[in-house]
Amino acid sequence: MSIKITDKVSWVGKVDWELKKFHGEELSTHKGSTYNSYLIQDEKTVLIDTVWTPYRDEFIARLQKYVDLDKIDYIVANHGEPDHSGSLPALMKLIPNTPIYCTANGVKSLRGQYHQDWDFQVVKTGTKLDIGSQELMFIEAPMLHWPDTMFTYAMGDGILFSNDAFGQHYATESLYNDKADPAELQYECLKYYANILTPFNRQVDRKIKEFVALNLPVNLICPSHGVIWRDNPLQIVQQYSRWADSYQENQVTILYDSMWDSTKKMAQAIARGITAADQDIIVKIYNVGQRDKNDIITEVFRSRAILVGSSTINRGILSAVAGILEEIKGLSFSGKKAAAFGSYGWSGESVKIITQELRDGGFDIINEGLRCLWTPDQENEQRCFQFGQEMVATLEGWQKA
Ligand code: FEO
């Protein structure tokens, strides 16, 4: 399938409705994904990115129906990850002398993965490529989200080919943002940012400011996953600016795992305390052993504060809690508060361990946490309730952005 998006630009990618996991088993993709590849047929013919390796044969077969491969003058590789470069080895066997435009780091990543000495043309921010009726301008975008990433901007059409930035793992047949289910689209954009781009907030902010300062018209934003931003395309750029700035909603998220429901009872009593203190705060409770970790990360991203609980086991914490804390630490959240809780029967180290993990993850630790010996009785449930209330008291007044 190809879809014409302007007179000269076509989408020639792959919609993957069946994708459930991405980056190996690391990232859940409940709504599938797309691998967006674009073909520009001007005086010169340019292919921007390819699709993931499992779909290379169908991609190349479809491309051949649409264009004589020998007529492709240039390939642009905005980013080397295999979901965009995976078809290159097979394609380059057919058109081995076609120059590939990419960053210096792009050469490293493509050479490192495919061990081929293709005709790499290294570009920097501001490098232009004349393709006939217009020029393509390249804009390096390191750490959005790999060091090799760049954007390509079609100067005549005002199209920003942004690769992963502004994308979503969201399968769609209609391709444009104004044709997508708005709630699904919003959630998948948020999940994508929270799980992939959060560690690079500063680079996102800097790149957006740099791009805005160029004062270039933007008619379409064409990312490498999900929808093309056609209706008010800059809305996703503005959204990224907000997300990059220690984003919060008026939400507190309680994460826990529990061996015999004692820590679960603590979580529920804490939630009651939060709600009693402030009914406007959205409180969500997740058993991290049962729920998808990337959905949980998305909720952490939205939160002003998180409370993390675990039973003590073997002088440590439950493995599901350890796993989510490792994820949370790696994402380098900023401007969020946190505290720990947990029940124990014997040694009771869990709260101390969780508190340290949260501190290492950059959270503002509210207090040294709440421990409960054995199953919480009425008195201990009241302590949990107060713990929730006291946590609310540490939050500053909420101003909706
Ligand atoms: Fe869509 Fe970073 O690859």
What is the pLDDT, as a whole number, of residue 379?
A: 98
What is the pLDDT, as a whole number, of residue 56?
A: 98
| Cα-to-centroid distance, 24 and ligand 1 (Å) | 12
What is the pLDDT, as a whole number, of residue 397?
A: 78
Which protein residues are within 6 Å of ligand 1, measured from CB?
79, 81, 83-84, 145-146, 164, 224-225
HSE-up of residue 131 (Cα within 13 Å, Cβ side)? 29
Residue located via tokens 């990433």: 149
HSE-up of residue 331 (Cα within 13 Å, Cβ side)? 29
**Which atom of ligand 1 lies at the shortest distance from residue 225's CA?**
1
SS (H, E, C) 282-343: EEEEEECCCCCHHHHHHHHHHCCEEEEEECEECCEECHHHHHHHHHHHHHCCCCCEEEEEEE
What is the pLDDT, as a whole number, of residue 2?
A: 79
Report how far residue 59's alpha carbon sits from residue 11's, in angstroms, rounded to the nearest whole number. Answer: 12
**Which atom of ligand 1 lies at the shortest distance from residue 82's CA?**
3
Give me the phi and psi of 212, to 5 degrees please: -60, -40
pLDDT digit string, tens, across residues 326-338: 999 999 999 999 9
> Where do the domains of the chain lie, and which CATH numbers do they carry?
3-243 (3.60.15.10), 252-395 (3.40.50.360)
What is the pLDDT, as a whole number, of residue 396?
A: 81
Q: Which of 35, 140, 170, 225 is catalytic?
A: 225
What is the pLDDT, as a whole number, of residue 309?
A: 98
Which portions of the chain are predicted below pLDDT 50? none
What is the pLDDT, as a whole number, of residue 162?
A: 98
Can you give the pTM of this predicted structure?
0.96
What is the pLDDT, as a whole number, of residue 333?
A: 97
What is the pLDDT, as a whole number, of residue 65?
A: 94
Q: E strands of 155-304, at which residues?
A: 159-163, 220-223, 251-257, 282-287
Structure-token pair, residue 311: 């039973």
Report how far residue 293's alpha carbon sits from residue 207's, in angstroms, rounded to the nearest whole number. Answer: 29
